[in-house]
Structure 1
Amino acid sequence: MALLTTQQAADRIGVSVRHVQRLVAGGGLIAIGPDRIDADSVAQWITQRQGSRPRAWEEPTAWAAVALLEDHPAPWLGQAQRSRLRSALAGSTAVELAARTRNRAEVHRFHAHPRALGHLTRDVVDSGSTEDVGGLTATDRLDGYVAASALRRLVQRYRLSPDPAGNVVLRTTEMPPDVVTELADGRRHVLAGLDLAGSTDARERSAGHRILDRALGSLRG
């Protein structure tokens, strides 16, 4: 596991040490000891923002963006909000979209015993990012969405241990699971594209951007 000092993490991100400490407190970065930051969590933080700092949408708006791109109604926003969001999406690039929708869920990384993966899958809404959606397939890891209220139960039930480089990524959200499931099954694979676009792996990130480019193109008509 590669580690950075707090100052090194701050220099890499381009913020103050105090800001890094706030990111650790908020779960955005992972601290290992009093003055060491996991380098992978720093890389992930930077990747999710795509090297820029566009203002991220609040969680309901981020999910509404996914819905509109999947040609779903997003009834939790008012008509005027949906209209403004549609206009914003029409003028967005894939990179901007990935950055602005990052608040759709909070990302948690764990290690699970390989035999637990199959069982855990039943409790997770899989966006398809580890399947053959983007031309990539991974069978040795799990990446999916769960209700924020269910995280602690799943960690205890499957004996998940926190691990920045682990084989399980759980994305916790307040959005109702049935809505997340419906959007994950969308024909344009927008949710999978967003998950891939936030990867530190260049091939996965590129695959995610291609999916999002196609979805944005369909929205523009």
Structure 2
Amino acid sequence: MELLPVSKSEAARYMGVKGKPDSTVEALLDRAEKQVRQLVRPKYVYLETSVEFTDEGVVLGAVDEPFTGNDIRRHMKGCTRAVLLAATLSQEADKLIRQAAVNDMAGSLALDCICSAAVEQVCNRAEEEIFSSRQGIYRTWRFSPGYGDLPISLQQSILLALNAQRRIGLTVTDSCLLIPSKSVTAVIGISETPVERGGHGCAVCSMKESCAYRATGTKCR
């Protein structure tokens, strides 16, 4: 997959910019976007699996442990199937950010924020490709480990179910951080009847009390 033009307005929000970026920020983002689109080649993998609701939590057939918490149970209400998704910008993105940080912190920040916007683009396009041929179904929005009360420790089980290390080079640390860092894992519920779209974004995020974006009056997505 090749990146399409990356949303620089979204990247500017990640930088904490309110309103229209000034010419200096625009130039930083323009340069960063060109570098990222030239060097980064995103990848994603997915797997469709069964969904069962038990006393232990929401059980996905392909995953070795239940998805626990009230938020994921509400999110998946009415769903009989689900898609597990993992997407990454690959090590090239981390390398670009790291190299720029040596002598250009502003450039490194711009690259970091462009990459954050880029991985969201990849997830959106992956969803479109996955569901483009599926008619007569309804789906939830993406729900990732760490949202609401869904344990972030589920990262490991999702990657194992997807064989993500071998297929797209995506791993997770003991502290549940994804490597490469510009990566996402998520579950998308599938139903044959309309699904109730519950809380989204800050309303269910476990980081909302300490979020740097909220402190500046912006959002991460």
State the TM-score, normalized to the length of structure 1: 0.27
Q: Which has the higher strand share?
A: 2
State the TM-score, normalized to the length of structure 2: 0.27
Which structure has more relative contact order (CA 8 Å, sep 6+)? It is 2
Q: Which has the higher helix share?
A: 1
